Amino acid sequence: MPELPEVEVSRLGISPYLENQQLVGVVARQRQLRWWIPDEVIELSNQPILAVTRRAKYLLIRLPAGEIILHLGMSGHLKVVAGDSPPGKHDHLDLLLSNNKILRLNDTRRFGAVLWQAKDQQHPLLAALGPEPLTSDFSAQTLVDACGKRSAAIKLVVMDNKVVVGVGNIYANEALFKAGISPTAPANSVADDKLALLSTVIKETLAAAIVQGGTTLKDFSQADGKPGYFKQQLLVYGRGGQPCVNCQQPLTEIKLGQRTTVFCSLCQH
């Protein structure tokens, strides 16, 4: 599933084509994605696009009446194509733009979502989200406070969207390795100074991934078709059994919260 950096890269890729344009109309070939695409989206026409923003792993296309909420799910991706481009098999939704371009949602598995949030209202999916990791709302103290009374594994805590949004499996693995923290350690057992370091490393890891174009996943590409390149720099994720880059000890791979977790048993405590 695309993680926060991949979603942010998508936002950066599509924004120049959408902002300051008109949304001329919407074409839905398949309305049943993870949820049914609501009528409010289908009926949109001749609406100025005010901004393209992101909240956690959701993209928000802001219009005067509200916002289209896009979620890429496990296999979704967005592409900007010419207005006369014929749709492919899994091209489920087109947003028709005044510059004769189309923002097209392709989603093989249909686990993505296209939803609507009316102006001055908040969709239930966004209401319970925690702070954005790349803002001042997420700090060392934020993480210390969140971990103080929780005995769950620290990796599960930093992946909890109520604690901080967008730290998915790949980047949780990477950040914990860089901070020298075992992913299985109870959150309330991790020292405050280590949590402060982890908060900083999370920010640095996500920011680096965005700069380098997002991680290349099986079903992900940028809006211009170029893959992300951050995968080349992954230190632990996907490297179970291979030597640790620091101590050469084989990396341990386990399942934690039903997600693949890779770490160094010597370097991470």
Tell whether 109 is in a known binding site: yes
Tokens of 141: 């103290």
The answer to whether 252 and 240 are in contact (CB under 8 A) is yes
Has 2 been annotated as catalytic?
A: yes
**Measured distance CA(7)–CA(34) in Å, rounded:** 18
CB-count exposure of residue 225 (10 Å: 0-12, 13-18, 19+): exposed
Average pLDDT over residues 217-232: 57
Give the residue ranges of DSSP H helices in 95-243.
124-127, 140-147, 154-158, 169-179, 192-211
Q: Residues 11, 54, 55, 57: which is the catalytic one?
A: 57
Query: Terminus-to-terminus CA distance in the chain, angstroms?
Result: 28
Residue entry with tokens 């006369």: 84
State yes or no: 62 annotated in a binding site. no
Q: What is the pTM of this model?
A: 0.89
pLDDT tens digits along 50-105: 999 999 999 999 999 999 999 999 888 899 999 999 999 999 999 999 999 999 99
Q: Which residue segments constitute the domains of the chain, with CATH numbers given? A: 4-127 (3.20.190.10), 140-263 (1.10.8.50)
Residue 218 clears pLDDT 70, i.e. is over it:
no
Other CB atoms within 10 Å distance of the CB of residue 211: 12
Residue 64 bears catalytic tag: no
Average pLDDT, the chain: 92
| Residue 150 is assigned to a ligand binding site | yes
> Is residue 62 flagged as an active site residue?
no
Cα–Cα distance measured from residue 58 to residue 46, given in angstroms and rounded to the nearest whole number: 23
Q: Both tokens of residue 188? A: 């309330």
- How confident is the model at residue 210, as a pLDDT? 87
